Every structure is written in structure tokens, then in C-alpha cells.
Amino acid sequence: MTSISFPTTRMRRLRYNPVLRKLVRENFISPDRLILPLFVRAGKGVRQPIPSMPGQFQLSIDEFAKEVEEAAELGLGGLILFGIPETKDAIGSDAMSDNGIIAKAIRTAKTIAKNRLLIITDVCFCEYTDHGHCGVLRETSLGRSDVDNDTTLENLVRQVIVQARAGVDMVAPSGMIDGMVGEIRRGLDDEGFTNIPIMSYAAKYASAFYGPFRDAAESAPKSGDRRSYQMDPAASAAQALREIQLDINEGADIIMIKPALAYLDIIRLAKEHFDGIPIAAYNVSGEYSMVKAAAERGWIDEKAVVTESLTAMSRAGASIIITYWAKDIASNLIHYTNQT
């Protein structure tokens, strides 16, 4: 049965010609909206493959420098850096040292990139602590260790000041520690770094999609999990909106939702409720590795699936996408943005 408007209204008119399809397309992927995660470790000449993330590596500073140059040449929007120190301790001291791995990585990246791309740092302690949690641990009344929220806040400020002195362009606190954005903002401002923006992991879920990342960053908790501070996947969307609003109130300049694909509804709600503040989505390691595994078996077309997935994130409301495919997308831009 046809509708009363047929044949006057034919939706296929705008789809029939491939050139016209591209002309009216509203969502597309651009390299300058993409951020590439990189993992930096001690050593020289190290380009260590991450088995659970094909095509991704742990990099020594010299190898990392090559990646920075390539990212800049490809026109990416930025890099987000994760440090893997030579030694770890209970409080993540390396992250608070001017000679630590992340400070060295920032200085190297800024020397190479100059103003061609943003150098962003993940602000957390899970990569730097010997226990793998996101801050200082304390015993609780429940008979287990948990992150001491307020002591960790003090250390987060120390961490970002080190990064600011090294020349970072933007900081991205990821631990879901209550009050982290406000304390970091005050700490940066007190030291005169008023122009450094904060991209907050405002709605970060305790997700099973992070598994490969924990191999990459060597950050898996030695005991317990992170469910006491990261969001419950079964929590209401209203809780995510509340978390985001709190971070905005504390001074977040950009808010992030992580993971991306399983939480497109949260991205869309954030866009609708907080229009005017940039929204980032993190296309996380599990999303990456599942596609890679299926593609290696010939079950899916990797490029087509990546394009469709990232377009969905953009359509949901993300203007910034953090993805391990950033270089591939930029170097194959004609394919990714102009599919017919």
C-alpha cells in the first residue's frame, strides 16, 4: 500500500545519484576531529606490539617521536598520551615527576608537533601504581581496599602541574574521582596555567570493553575492580547527565563519554542537554579489537564497519572522537568520507 504523497514524495531521489548522496550527507569523519591514543614507555628502539590490539604498540620515546610526526603530517586533531613507567609504586610517583615518562613524552611531542596538533594527557594513576588502581588505596569498613578520593585529588593536581610545566595543551582526567575537575582547575589556575582546557571523562562506565587497553597500558588492577568509582553500566541515563553536569559546573571545557558504541544513547542525551559544550567519544580498545578480530577472519569489511561506527558516534552528537583508527582514517580519507 502506498502513502497518499506517493509518487510526489520519493525519498530515493536523494539517494539515486552517488554525487548527490555525498552532497546532502550531514555526518562525516574529518581527521582534525580525531585524537589518536599512544602508549609511551621507557627504553630505546622499543616498538612492542600489543597482542590484544593488532596494529598498536608500546613505544619508547624515539619511536614515539616518529608517531608524533606522522600524526601531525596526517592532520590529526591531537594525541592522547598514556605513560608506562619503568618502576611503579603505591602512589604512582612517576606521574608526579618532572623526569617521569609522561613529562618526557610531552616535551618530545611538543618539540616535534609544535602547533600542528594538540598534545593531550590522560590524567590518572592506574598506569603508574603497582596495584593498578586509579589513586591512593585505603582500607574501608567493607573489609577491602578502595581508592581514597580526597587524597587522590591532591595527587591529581600534582600530576597535572607536572604536565603543564612540560607543555601539555590539554588534560583529560579519567579516574571518575569525585571533584577531580574542580581541583584540577583550581590547581592549574593557581599556577598560572589558566589557558589549559580540561576534557573530562565525565561519564566513564565500568565497562568490559576496556580489557585490551589494560594490556596496552599495563594497568589491570591487581585485586578487585573499579566499580566503586566508575559508573555502573546499568545505572539510569539521568545519573550520567548528573555526572556530566557536575563536571561542567566544576569547569570542564569538553566532556567525554566512554565507551562509545554501547553508550550512543548517552552521547545523544548529552548533546541534547548540554548543547554548546563540545562532546568527545572514546572508541575504546574492546570496540577496536573486536572489529580487528572479525576482519582478520574475513567476517566483516573493516573499513566499512569503522566508517559506519564512527559516523554513528558523530550522528549521536560527538564532535571529537578518540580512536585507534585515527591514522588509518586520515590516510584513507577519500574512502572513509566519500563512500558511495
pLDDT per residue over 21-63, tens digit each? 888 888 878 999 999 999 999 999 999 999 999 999 999 999 9
pLDDT of amino acid 335: 47
pLDDT of amino acid 156: 95
What pLDDT band is residue 334 in, cutting at 50, 70 and 90?
A: very low
List the end-to-end C-alpha distance of the chain, in Å, as a whole number: 30
What pLDDT band is residue 127 in, cutting at 50, 70 and 90?
A: confident
* CATH match for 27-337 among 3.20.20.70, 2.30.30.30, 3.40.930.10, 3.30.70.20: 3.20.20.70
Cis bond leading into 259, ω under 30°?
Answer: yes
**Strands annotated E in 6-99:** 34-41, 47-49, 57-59, 78-84
> Mean pLDDT, to the nearest integer, of 275-303?
96
Domain boundaries, the chain: 27-337
pLDDT of amino acid 169: 96
What pLDDT band is residue 290 in, cutting at 50, 70 and 90?
A: very high
pLDDT of amino acid 278: 95
pLDDT of amino acid 340: 45
Which one of 44, 66, 114, 258 is the catalytic residue?
A: 258
- Partners of 84 in the β-ladder: 41
Residue 238 backbone class (left: φ over 0; alpha: ψ -120 to 50; beta: rest): alpha
- Partners of 39 in the β-ladder: 58, 82
Which one of 88, 104, 204, 327 is the catalytic residue?
A: 204
**Residue, of 167 and 2, whose pLDDT is higher:** 167
- The x, y and z cell numbers of residue 181, run together, are 575537575
Q: How many DSSP H helices and E strands does the chain contain?
A: 13, 12
Known catalytic residue at 204: yes
**Residue, of 215 and 246, whose pLDDT is higher:** 246
At residue 109's C-alpha, the angle toward residues 108 and 112, to 5°, is: 90
Closest CA to 67 of 38, 35, 31: 38
What pLDDT band is residue 222 in, cutting at 50, 70 and 90?
A: low
Q: Over 90: is that where the pLDDT of 154 sits? A: yes
Closest CA to 191 of 159, 150, 228, 146: 159
pLDDT of amino acid 226: 66
Q: Over 90: is that where the pLDDT of 4 sits? A: no
Helix (H), strand (E) at residue 200: strand 199-204
Spatial separation of the C-alpha atoms in residues 117 and 169, rounded to whole Å: 9
pLDDT of amino acid 208: 92
Known catalytic residue at 258: yes
- The x, y and z cell numbers of residue 105, run together, are 613524552
pTM: 0.91
Inter-residue contact 102 to 64 (CB < 8 Å)? no
What pLDDT band is residue 230 in, cutting at 50, 70 and 90?
A: confident
CB atoms within 10 A of CB 200: 29
Q: How far is CA 60 from the centre of its chain?
A: 21
Spatial separation of the C-alpha atoms in residues 60 and 84, rounded to whole Å: 10
CB atoms within 10 A of CB 308: 11
Spatial separation of the C-alpha atoms in residues 318 and 259, rounded to whole Å: 12
Spatial separation of the C-alpha atoms in residues 180 and 249, rounded to whole Å: 12
Spatial separation of the C-alpha atoms in residues 260 and 203, rounded to whole Å: 10
